[in-house]
Chain A
Amino acid sequence: MHELAICQALMEQVERIAQEERADQVLSIHLAIGPLSGVESRLLEQAFSVARAGSIADSAELVIESMPVQVNCKQCGQLTEALPGRLVCGSCGDWRTSLISGDELELRHVELIRQTAEDSFAPARRSYNS
């Protein structure tokens, strides 16, 4: 059940972003997760429902996009779908493939409400390159 630890890392990131952006509330959090990340979306959702309590994301929705497992064949060059436990080329069957998608564990997008910041500090674009 390492999803709890991962959810904790997620909450830290979201709270930091909300703080940086001077947000009052987090509306939704969007993740991309592939089966080869080793993280179960269902368990992460359960952990999130506990972890968000009392935070700025108290009523936030967690939206998880499940990424497909796709491999690129080094022999025939085809891009095909594969099973997490069997990453062979769907076209020629060769095992020498490289993973194109399926191991994602990413925070992609956060939606916020910011009511008080408009008049004081509201940059149109905010870079994290500080």
Chain B
Amino acid sequence: MCDTCGCNVTPGNAHLVKPGGRLSKTENGHEAIDVLHGLLDANDHTAAHNREHFNKHGVLAINLMSSPGAGKTRLLEATIDALKDELSMAVIEGDLETENDASRIRAHGVPAIQITTGSACHLDAHMVHDALHQLDLQQLDIVFIENVGNLVCPASFDLGQHRNITLLSVPEGDDKPAKYPVMFRTADLVVLSKSDLLPVLDDFDPDKARRYLRELANSAPVFELSAKNADGMDAWIHWLLAELASLEQQSGRLAAEPA
């Protein structure tokens, strides 16, 4: 996959390619170097590299994040069932342990690459890059990356995705956006999952969840959805197809431009 794009460039030296390093002397004669690098430059470099791969093949990359048990895998199962006749999909699964989620996805006839992170609480761009080597992007329309269930750490790592989806399940409570601002601020779409539980957990107010999200200056759409009884699936599928169409239009435009 990476025969032309410079995989052999070690990601750790990406920051050295940037201009702006500066050397001066402090009063006591020590050298002082002004650098201004992002601490995650190495990760961001690999993420940009992943994104290039997705773009080159016109593959939409979706990063799914939520706390554990919010229904990410269940949403993916329902999504695969709804779209498998018209689209080709694959899933990259991030979990601390087990192949359980990948097995669930494979049972729906879609390739799944399981990344077991051990004790790591998030996926990073390098892990996703390794997983991409096991997928034939040429054959795919959408790659879903199911991040490790965690509302904190995954938010700090760009994976090369096009869109971030954050699930907030009804049992978790409607104030999660205010409590986990780093995660919800980066969401391009928020899914209020397990909406079939709203009648019994009536202290969850979807409007309140929306308001907390807006107070993070985030105008992302909010969908109420139950993968169990398929309520709200149409809006989600429609959103996905629109994102895919817009990506294809974009890459078509790029391909049409003279080199």
Contacts and interface: CB of A to CB of B under 8 A. Distances in A.
A88 B31 contact: no
B178 to A, nearest CB: 4
B17 A86 contact: no
B32 interface: yes
A16 B153 contact: no
Interface in B144-182: 152-153, 155-157, 177-179, 181-182
> Most A CB atoms within 10 A — which of B36, B40, B217, B219?
B217
B82 interface: no
Nearest to A82: B217
B18 interface: yes
**Secondary structure type dominating chain A contacts:** mixed
B141 to A, nearest CB: 31
Contact of B217 (A38, A97, A105): A97
Interface string A104-120: 01111111111000000
A75 B105 CA distance: 45
B19 A109 contact: no
Interface residues of B, number: 47
B23 A105 contact: no
Given A16-B13, A71-B217, A125-B23, A105 B33 contact: no
A7 B152 CA distance: 17
Nearest to A15: B12
B39 A107 contact: yes
B30 interface: yes
A6 B42 CA distance: 10
Contacts of B217: 71, 87-88, 95-99
Interface string B29-48: 01111111111111100000
Nearest to B23: A126
A103 to B, nearest CB: 8
B100 interface: no
A2 B117 CA distance: 12
A6 to B, nearest CB: 6
Nearest to A125: B23
Given A1-B121, A38-B153, A96-B217, A108 B36 contact: yes
A2 B122 contact: yes
Interface in B202-242: 214-217, 219
A108 B16 contact: no
Interface string B1-30: 000000000001101111111110010001
A82 to B, nearest CB: 9
A51 interface: no
B124 A5 contact: yes
B39 A114 contact: no
A105 B36 contact: no
B53 interface: no
16 contacts: A1-B153, A2-B157, A6-B39, A9-B43, A13-B41, A13-B42, A17-B35, A21-B31, A87-B215, A97-B217, A105-B156, A106-B39, A109-B32, A128-B17, A128-B19, A129-B21
Interface of B: 12-13, 15-23, 26, 30-43, 120-122, 124, 152-153, 155-157, 177-179, 181-183, 185, 214-217, 219
